[in-house]
């Protein structure tokens, strides 16, 4: 049954996090170390002239809100931080984290303010959070604000990832504050004033690995247990009633959810760019869309983050191992409550096995196989990825085009099918030796497809369900940003609509599935980004 819609005034708030966990006793919104508490109460800073830029109708439905409600002035005022609804209990979370492998101590919600938790008419919990609505006690030297360009990227990518089938937090709205914010986009000393903006993010929970780490680091083990109990009871209710075994079962589930998320990242060519432990969701959701990027050409050691350019810790190929490392830090944090390291170590030992099986299953689907056959498919996928890396090849276009291969038609000895050619960036790299290597692979691949005895149409349908036609390419987002900075928001709405059906053919929107144009190769915002917003 379709739930009836509600109004903003009738949203049902159930603020479990603030009701059941301890609050910072310091009430002033000043930067300080927060001990013996899981959060600080703080109100958003009102913007001078709030203006709605865009909203997601799909995210609004999760809150039982109609589109006309999202177009109201009240909606804009609330989700820019200018008004609070009855029942809202704004707060910023306290957490720590490892940043680029080093312990950074207290971090916390430096520019995110949670408005409160609602229960929709399906009794599903959603936390409402404003990103860019002003300083909190965790802002350190920052201003707690966000600019339009980074907010557009977060808003669009949150919703694009959802429609791609990737576990993610969601974005309800994007608004302007009517104020200017000073930023140094590339950390090169070139400051400029940019439009200030706020994104309303929603998620069942915004709890991160770092929420547990900070309590463990401070040896506040009673609070650590309270947070673990609350998290399991609220977000993992199937593990209730709680027992000592529940903690290990919970950790194992967190491991599997995290790796499931990473497998989806690898499937669609997404690179998070800053997989610090404070950016890891306890629910295995993609969170904190900062200097992320999408593989254009298949370059496994590519990172979109300028801060990561030297070490490439968070490069595409490293994401599974980094996820495992982060899970190891979470295991260290919760050990005082679990009591024994053995069940945690067992879960970690099984995590990469879980990942590799999931990765194999994912690659089998991308290639159109019924299932992954290690005897043949391991070498086949390894060779293919090697081929893709040897010449600049668009990751998305190649796999999407591969679905058109008909095994009944033998490839020419000295040329490639048209549907493959459009995936290449540099024609000079397509040498006779390369053509022979790729054709040899396609011949082996065709034989392997034949073993499954699946029709061409069925194979094509399967592949097109997992290989997107449209991704939020970096240059597409940047083009929308540049239009928006001139007060033209049409590019945002159009990309939002294109990404609603990323696996479909959209004949009138083929331009959005094209490979990266040459002008975007090294352009800021199209190639690499900094953590600055």
Domain boundaries, the chain: 8-207, 369-453, 479-514
> Using one digit for the tens of pLDDT, what is the confidence trace for 348-406?
999 999 999 999 999 999 999 999 999 999 999 999 999 999 999 999 999 999 999 98
pLDDT at 533: 47
pLDDT at 181: 96
Give SS3 for 113.
strand
Q: Is 178 exposed, middle or buried (0-12, 13-18, 19+ CB in 10 A)?
A: middle
Which helix (H) or strand (E) covers residue 336, if one does? helix 319-338
| Rounded CA separation 81/79 (Å) | 5
pLDDT at 3: 57
Active site residues: 278
| Rounded CA separation 248/254 (Å) | 10
pLDDT at 185: 72
Decide: 377 and 357 in contact? Cβ < 8 Å.
Answer: no
pLDDT at 187: 65
> Using one digit for the tens of pLDDT, what is the confidence trace for 136-151?
999 999 999 999 999 9
| Rounded CA separation 273/434 (Å) | 31
**Per-10-residue mean pLDDT, the chain, length 533:** 77 97 97 98 98 98 97 98 98 98 98 98 97 97 96 98 98 98 79 96 98 98 98 98 96 98 98 98 97 96 95 98 98 97 98 98 98 97 98 97 85 78 94 94 95 94 98 97 97 98 97 95 86 59
Beta bridge partners, 176, equal 51, 197
| Rounded CA separation 163/469 (Å) | 12
Helix, strand, coil percentages for the chain (3-state, nearest 5):
45, 15, 40
pTM value is: 0.97
DSSP 467: S
**Strand ranges in 132-243 using DSSP code E only, listed in sequence order:** 146-147, 170-183, 192-203
């Amino acid at each position: 049954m379709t739930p009836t819609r509600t109004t903003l005034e009738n949203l049902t708030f159930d603020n479990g996090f603030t009701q059941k966990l301890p609050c910072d006793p310091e009430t002033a919104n000043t930067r300080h170390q927060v001990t013996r508490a899981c959060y600080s109460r703080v109100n958003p800073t009102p913007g001078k002239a709030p203006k709605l830029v865009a909203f997601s109708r799909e995210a609004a439905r999760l809150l039982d809100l109609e589109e006309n409600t999202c177009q109201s002035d009240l909606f804009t005022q609330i989700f820019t931080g200018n008004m609070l609804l009855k029942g809202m209990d704004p707060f910023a979370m306290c957490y720590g984290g490892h940043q680029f492998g080093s312990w950074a101590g207290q971090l916390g919600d430096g520019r995110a303010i949670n408005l409160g938790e609602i229960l929709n008419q399906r009794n599903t919990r959603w936390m409402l959070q404003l990103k860019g609505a002003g300083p909190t006690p965790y802002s350190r030297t920052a201003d707690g604000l966000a600019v339009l360009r980074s907010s557009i990227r977060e808003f669009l990518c949150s919703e694009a990832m959802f429609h791609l089938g990737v576990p993610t937090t969601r974005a309800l709205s994007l608004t302007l504050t009517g104020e200017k914010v000073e930023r140094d986009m590339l950390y090169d000393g070139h400051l400029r004033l940019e439009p200030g903006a706020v994104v309303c993010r929603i998620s069942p929970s915004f709890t991160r690995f770092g929420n547990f780490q900070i309590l463990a680091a401070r040896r506040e083990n009673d609070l650590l247990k309270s947070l673990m109990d609350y998290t399991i009871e609220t977000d993992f209710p199937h593990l209730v009633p709680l027992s000592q075994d529940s903690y290990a079962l919970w950790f194992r589930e967190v491991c599997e959810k995290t790796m499931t998320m990473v497998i989806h990242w690898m499937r669609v060519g997404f690179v998070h760019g800053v997989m610090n432990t404070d950016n890891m969701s306890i629910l295995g959701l993609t969170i904190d869309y900062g200097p992320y990027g999408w593989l254009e050409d298949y370059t496994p050691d590519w990172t979109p983050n300028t801060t990561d350019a030297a070490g490439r810790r968070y490069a595409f190929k490293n994401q599974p191992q980094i996820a495992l490392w982060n899970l190891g830090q979470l295991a260290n944090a919760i050990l005082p409550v679990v009591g024994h390291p053995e069940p945690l170590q067992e879960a970690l030992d099984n995590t990469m096995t879980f990942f590799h099986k999931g990765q194999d299953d994912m690659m089998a689907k991308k290639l159109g196989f019924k299932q992954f056959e290690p005897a043949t498919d391991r070498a086949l996928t390894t060779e293919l990825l090697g081929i893709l890396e040897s010449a600049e090849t668009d990751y998305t276009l190649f796999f999407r085009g591969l679905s058109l291969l008909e095994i009944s038609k033998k490839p020419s000895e000295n040329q490639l099918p048209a549907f493959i050619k459009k995936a290449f960036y540099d024609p000079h790299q397509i040498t006779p030796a390369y053509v022979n290597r790729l054709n040899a692979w396609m011949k082996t691949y065709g034989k392997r497809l034949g073993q499954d005895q699946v029709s061409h149409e069925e194979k094509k349908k399967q592949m097109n369900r997992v290989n997107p036609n449209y991704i939020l390419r970096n240059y597409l987002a940047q083009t929308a940003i540049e239009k928006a900075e001139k007060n033209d928001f049409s590019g945002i709405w159009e990309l939002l609509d294109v990404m609603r059906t990323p696996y479909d053919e959209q004949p009138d929107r083929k331009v959005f599935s094209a490979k990266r144009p040459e002008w975007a190769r090294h352009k800021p915002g199209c190639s690499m980004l900094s953590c600055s917003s």
